[in-house]
Amino acid sequence: MDFTFTPEQMDLQARARALTENHLFPYEEEVQETNALSDASRAAIRDAVLAAGFNAVNHLREDGGQEFPLVNQCLVFEEFGKATNMLGLCPWMPAYCLRFGTEDQKQQYLRPAIRGEIREAFLVTEPQSGSDAGGMLTNAVKDGDHYVINGLKCFASGSERADYMLLHCNVDGDPKKATLFLLDKGMEGFEIVKTPKALYNGPGDHPWVQLTNLRVHESKILGGIGQGFELTKDWFVEQRANIAARCVGVAIRCAEIAADWAAEREAFGRKIQDYQGIEWKLAEMAVEIMAAKALLYRCASEYDNGLDRKAAHARMSAVKLFCTEMAWRICDQSLQIQSGHGFMMDNPVARHYTSVRAERIVEGTSEIQKVIIGGQIKKRGLGVYTGLMTQPNLTGGSA
Ligand SMILES: Cc1cc2nc3c(=O)[nH]c(=O)nc-3n(C[C@H](O)[C@H](O)[C@H](O)COP(=O)(O)OP(=O)(O)OC[C@H]3O[C@@H](n4cnc5c(N)ncnc54)[C@H](O)[C@@H]3O)c2cc1C
């Protein structure tokens, strides 16, 4: 077992850090002030991401992506995560499941998305069904060589700017036929009906989208009818690892700011770092980050080394749960160490405080991760999580 990173990996992370500090940090204030990112700023970030070779780190080289192993994806997303206001999401990663598209679909959507020419959004959540995606009501009915789709989606992040969208819906009202459709910008029957203001200021919105008799050609089905959930399973592993990595970045930036502050700030005639109450907070932060990184990189490495899909899915739930909750705790403690000075929005910690809250909700809430973990323990035993040196027996059942 060797957890040593290679010089190439350290260089990769250093380049990601440079991109973050030179091309994401400068836009934090703009996003905080305007709750948006101008076209010019988007273009500048896009150019920097392309120049650094960090576009579509998750996609195959044959399609124009960087094809990074998951460990390397985590190394760069740890750095991107340090940028506040969710700017860490600017280095784009088109949906993993697009690689299962037809040649025409790859040509029209995947490859231009990889090049950063078009942007996507993903429409799953509905007002009455979030975690329980099986409860969605949006439905497609066949009409000749088209499908007619009706429904209401909410929190469709980035759909206000997206050139194409992946829509998750039922066919014939049957949840067993949950299917992914590719939608194009400007289609008749597609309408943004509401844009709620989020807790944090970010580069994009989270609109509600009404679909009314939207006609989609059958060639826009990704995979096949009923493939919706199957196609998104691998994506969950990747997305949860990347969220966890960004959260490690959030925690490191917040902890560093707190440590620097505690080394300078004086109260009652002493540096506050010399009060045990503060010293212990910093110690706990350091240990939590250390544990999170060990968990994240171990599980990402197992995935790269061929851990089967069920085991990867099971373990990445634990990684996502731990890293997102850890980042939240550390952000809160960093703010507490800086107190009034940490509470103001000119402080990166205050801005992280609002956005990192979302990470415990998206891609499966913390409770849903525990449901997955609890289910695995019942089905396969604690060894799925506590087994260190060998792969637990994960045959049988589904993740
Ligand atoms: C910033 C942000 C961006 C988002 N972007 C997108 C997007 O781009 N596309 C998209 O489709 N969606 C998006 N979402 C929606 C997100 O995926 C959902 O909010 C999430 O899946 C939870 O669903 P819900 O909000 O309906 O909560 P619910 O599913 O209604 O859950 C409510 C509460 O019940 C708990 N709960 C539910 N089931 C169980 C259970 N079995 N056991 C224990 N507790 C349970 C949950 O953990 C939660 O605490 C976004 C959300 C946010 C905050």
Nearest Cα residue to 243 out of 191, 176, 319: 319
pLDDT of residue 20: 98
Q: Is residue 169 a contact partner of residue 125, using CB atoms and an 8 Å limit? A: no
DSSP 221-286: EES-TT-HHHHHHHHHHHHHHHHHHHHHHHHHHHHHHHHHHHHH-EETTEEGGGSHHHHHHHHHHH
CA 282 vs CA 4, 327, 342, 350: distances in Å: 25, 14, 15, 18
Q: Coil, strand or helix: which one is 191? A: strand
| CA dihedral over 161, 250, 371, 310, signed as positive or negative | positive
pLDDT of residue 232: 82
What's the CA-to-centroid distance between 391 and ligand 1, angstroms?
A: 31
Q: Model-level pTM?
A: 0.96
Q: Is residue 147 a contact partner of residue 191, using CB atoms and an 8 Å limit? A: no
Nearest Cα residue to 83 out of 152, 31, 34: 31
What's the CA-to-centroid distance between 155 and ligand 1, angstroms?
A: 10
Alpha carbons within 13 angstroms on the beta-carbon side of residue 85 total: 25
pLDDT of residue 397: 38
CA 272 to chain centre: 35
pLDDT of residue 168: 97
Pocket perturbation via mutation, ligand 1, pick of 85, 129, 361 by most ligand atoms within 8 A of CB: 361
pLDDT of residue 395: 42
Ligand 1 residue neighbourhood (C-beta within 6 Å): 122-125, 130-132, 155-157, 198, 206, 358, 361-362, 365, 367-368, 371
* One-letter identity of residue 103: E
Nearest Cα residue to 243 out of 296, 320, 350: 320
Give the integer Cα–Cα distance in Å for 64 and 345. 38
Ligand 1 atom 25, closest CA: 130
Percent of the chain scored above 70 by pLDDT?
97
120 beta partners: 164
* One-letter identity of residue 88: G
Spell out the residues 6+ positions from residue 398 whose beta carbon is closer than 8 angstroms to its own.
310
| DSSP class of 24 | I
Residues 232-243 as b or e (16 or more Cβ within 10 Å = b): bbbbbbbbbbbb
Ligand 1 atom 30, closest CA: 130
Work out which ligand 1 atom sits closest to the CA atom of 366: 47
**What average pLDDT is seen over the chain?**
95
**pLDDT for 41-68, tens place per residue?**
999 999 999 999 999 999 999 999 999 9
**pLDDT for 240-265, tens place per residue?**
999 999 999 999 999 999 999 999 99
Q: Is the pLDDT of residue 2 over 90?
A: no
Spell out the residues 6+ positions from residue 280 whose beta carbon is closer than 8 angstroms to its own.
none
What's the CA-to-centroid distance between 4 and ligand 1, angstroms?
A: 36
Give the least confident one: 89-103, 302-316, 319-333: 302-316
pLDDT of residue 399: 35
| CA dihedral over 87, 91, 96, 98, signed as positive or negative | positive
Nearest Cα residue to 201 out of 121, 85, 100, 301: 85
- How buried is residue 375: exposed, middle or buried, by Cβ count under 10 Å (0-12/13-18/19+)? middle
Give the integer Cα–Cα distance in Å for 267 and 175. 61
Q: Is the pLDDT of residue 392 over 80?
A: no
Ligand 1 atom 14, closest CA: 155
Q: Coil, strand or helix: which one is 341? A: helix
Give the integer Cα–Cα distance in Å for 297 and 299. 5
Domains of the chain: 7-114 (1.10.540.10), 120-222 (2.40.110.10), 229-386 (1.20.140.10)
Give the integer Cα–Cα distance in Å for 293 and 145. 50
Percent of the chain scored above 90 by pLDDT?
92
β 120-123/164-171 pair status:
parallel
What's the CA-to-centroid distance between 131 and ligand 1, angstroms?
A: 5
**pLDDT for 147-171, tens place per residue?**
999 999 999 999 999 999 999 999 9
Q: Is residue 16 a contact partner of residue 75, using CB atoms and an 8 Å limit? A: yes
Q: Which residue in the block uniquely carries the two structure tokens 């502050």? A: 261
Q: Is residue 354 a contact partner of residue 199, using CB atoms and an 8 Å limit? A: yes
Give the integer Cα–Cα distance in Å for 20 and 3. 25
